[in-house]
Amino acid sequence: MFCTKKITADLTWVGANDRRLAMFEGVYSVPQGVSYNAYLLRDEKTVLFDTVDKAVQTRFFENLDFALDGRALDYIVVQHMEPDHSAALTTLTTRYPELKIVCNQKTLAFIKQFFNMDVDSRVHTVKEGDTLNTGKHTLNFVMAPMVHWPEVMVTYDLTDKILFSADAFGSFGALNGAVFADEVNFERDFLDEARRYYANIVGKYGTQVSALLKKASALTIEMICPLHGFVWRKALGDILSKYVLWSAYEPEEQGVMIAYASVYGNTENAAEILATKLCERGIKTELFDVSVTPASEIISAAFKWSHLVFASTTYNAGIFVSMEALLHDLAAHNIQNRTVGFIENGSWAATSGNLMREILSKCRNITILEKTVSIKSALKSEQLSDLEEFSDAIAATLPSHPSFLTPNSSLLIPSPPSASPSPTPQPPSPNINPTALYKLSYGLFVLTARDGQKDNGCIVNTVTQITNSPCRISVAVNKANFTRDMIVKSGKFNVSVLSESAPFSVFEQFGFKSGRDTDKFALAGSGLVTANSAVTKPDPARVNGIRYLTEHANAVLSATVIESLDYGTHTLFIADVTDAVVLSGEPSATYQYYFAHIKPKPKAPPEESKKGFVCKICGFTFEGDTLAADYICPLCKHGAEDFEPLRG
């Protein structure tokens, strides 16, 4: 029996979940299972994006048959040849003999390696920037080598602004009814699994992920459809900002991860005392026993925290076996930009500290604390001072609390000044701490007005109800805004209350452009109607006759100005509400929500100092100033002649 999910009017999820899988790729435990996502686009042509693992292909074909509803399948886009996404390919071509396989040249070679099938007669190869028109939709193909295989590409639907992201932006965990990230508490229940997925599956290839993010930043993306985990249609900045940090090997949080290897509990005791002392200093900590915690969870935590401490007993004159394996694994995942400290224990020869230091000192931009705490058998009271000093050394390397974001700094960019410039703002009193005012809560709104035949709008954050009877509101508008001039002339306006689903493009359209030289509604596209249509009255002129947002807004208020007050840089309009309509039950977007979830996070600084060479065949990156003439790529085995300088 089929189980499909509607993504958009034309796009359907036809994947399947596997909750019986114990070890993903035979390495990573998946106690919550895993989803294998595939998507069917129904247009004039039908397009399938990837297939699924062989374990769930029966359900996949049931879903596909239902979604096709009797239509033939025209194209299969193979974005990633890993068998958990391509296992059903041969069966697919048997079922649909006219099917065309859309892939790049590297993928084509992989298909021939994995399968004994006729590919050449049905293949449609694409390269960077190529497009495929399916009717209403145009698909653009973007190469993403080594994210995390050399043949990977992603697909961008120019029509619906959807990024089909292959393994990027994925997560461990089956989809338990919900398919969209906003249908669950993602940060609480799935962020750790998304980080664990990234750190262990893709983490080694931060440079390549950064390259893909740079390409993606040039696109207007309103939805992300990965091959594992949830589809992102809201708050895309949440997952994008994490990928910016992870790919740059920058920590998410300031704090200390402590991983310990203990045989009889004495090294564990030292680690716990250290954690206690750090907590007393207000420093966040997280502890792991490497003997019982899967390495994938500890590697994930290492990508999260800014400081790492490794405590190990000496075992066979070396590092305890599980700790040694973890450190090599962490180094193999290219961990960088961390401050690291060590605790060693040994009854007759404590050597684990230097050996641990030797492994991680080879990683890039690792700051190793000078002092190593050395224990003989068990920690004694006179050694507590060593842990005090160690805690102080860690605390000394933690940055101070981050400064507050300044409201209005980049969101409410005013239109170019009118002929009468606004008065120059006066500097605040030294007795006023601006950060105290930033604690005030603000909503976010699109204020719209009409002058003659021209509609316009701008972003505001100061709409307030003054009285209930009569129903009266106020709104403050910068004098530089063209919308303000229109309200002065017409005496009417609408307020669309933005909801949390509002993408950044709404703020770009109404907050970063001037209505003096831009038709904001023509560029904004669908979801914009006259105020009257939602109220279902026969004549638009009976309300304000002013347009407003019906998408990404949960309410609209129509108002008539009764008084205008001049407050220097701003005009305060007092207005009677003439109509108020609820459009949806979505939560309203607040200023804080905008900064946390909608506004794109700052991009990672360009890696101007990073030097190296990239293999043109598979995308492997060699970091260094020079590349030996006899160098051989460890992945594809091509020589130095197939490398080119790394471009920032």
Q: Which of 522, 533, 537 is nearest to 457 (CA)?
A: 522
Q: Are 331 and 359 in contact (CB under 8 A)?
A: yes
Q: pLDDT per residue over 164-221, tens digit each? A: 999 999 999 999 999 999 999 999 999 999 999 999 999 988 888 988 998 888 888 9
- Predicted local confidence at residue 538, as pLDDT: 32
Q: Are 581 and 594 in contact (CB under 8 A)?
A: no
What is the number of H-type helices and E-type strands within the chain? 19, 35
The CA-CA-CA angle for residues 502, 503, 509, to 5°, reads 100
CA 451 to chain centre: 40
Positions of the chain with pLDDT lower than 50, given as ranges: 401-422, 524-543, 604-605, 607
Q: pLDDT per residue over 549-572, tens digit each? A: 888 888 889 999 999 999 888 999
- Predicted local confidence at residue 332, as pLDDT: 93
The CA-CA-CA angle for residues 508, 512, 513, to 5°, reads 105
Kindly give, in sequence order, each residue whose CB lies less than 8 Å from that of residue 160, ignoring residues fewer than 6 positions away. 8, 10, 11, 137, 222, 223
- Predicted local confidence at residue 488, as pLDDT: 93
Can you name the residues that pair with 643 across neighbouring β-strands?
Answer: 615
- Predicted local confidence at residue 408, as pLDDT: 36
| Helix (H/G/I), strand (E/B), else coil: 116 | coil
Q: Which of 234, 249, 213 is nearest to 596 (CA)?
A: 234
Q: Are strands 100-103 and 123-125 parallel, antiparallel or unpaired?
A: parallel
Distance CA 3, CA 62 (A): 8
Distance CA 34, CA 18 (A): 5
Distance CA 64, CA 76 (A): 12
The CA-CA-CA angle for residues 438, 439, 445, to 5°, reads 70
What does the block give as tokens for 638? Answer: 């091509």
Distance CA 14, CA 37 (A): 7
